[in-house]
Amino acid sequence: MKRVLVLCTGNSCRSQMAEELWENLGAGEWQAESAGSNPSGYVHPLAIEAMKELDIDLSENTSKHLKQFTDQQFDLVVTVCDNAKESCPVFTGATQTLHWPFDDPADATGSDEEKMKMFRRVRDEIKTKIQNYLNN
């Protein structure tokens, strides 16, 4: 089984969604983990809602620090925000490292419904990027 580590700053939105999407789309061929360089301590409630729309449950997920993964082997490490790309250590155990920057949905403003539009857009962008990677 291949392993992927998805890194972000807070590990509350993008990397959490990517972890579960990768597990789902990887069809048993991938084990996905996610972590942050400065974990927020929670998974964003709107990220949980956005993923629930795809029948994927994030409610039991927790934000994790990347340090707990530094000695592990990964086939792929993906950074999903520019801050993580700059602040994360090089994972010498990674076969490949990619940078896929996505907008931070936690920065969305307005009503919850307006914010959800951004969460859905970013979720769908992440899903498409993972599908494209897995299909190549």
Closest CA to 53 of 128, 134, 120, 106: 120
Q: Which of 5, 7, 8, 122 is catalytic?
A: 8
Active site residue 13: no
Q: Where are the alpha helices (DSSP H) in 1-136?
A: 14-25, 45-52, 82-87, 112-134
Q: Which amino acid is at 107?
A: D
**Per annotation, catalytic residue among 88, 94, 108, 118:** 88
Closest-CA residue to 55 (of 84, 30, 9, 21):
21
Q: How many CB atoms lie within 10 A of CB 104?
A: 20
Beta-ladder partners of 5: 33, 77
Sign of CA dihedral 103, 4, 18, 37: negative
Of the candidates 17, 18, 81, 116, the residue annotated as catalytic is 81
Active site residue 81: yes
- Active-site residue numbers? 8, 81, 88
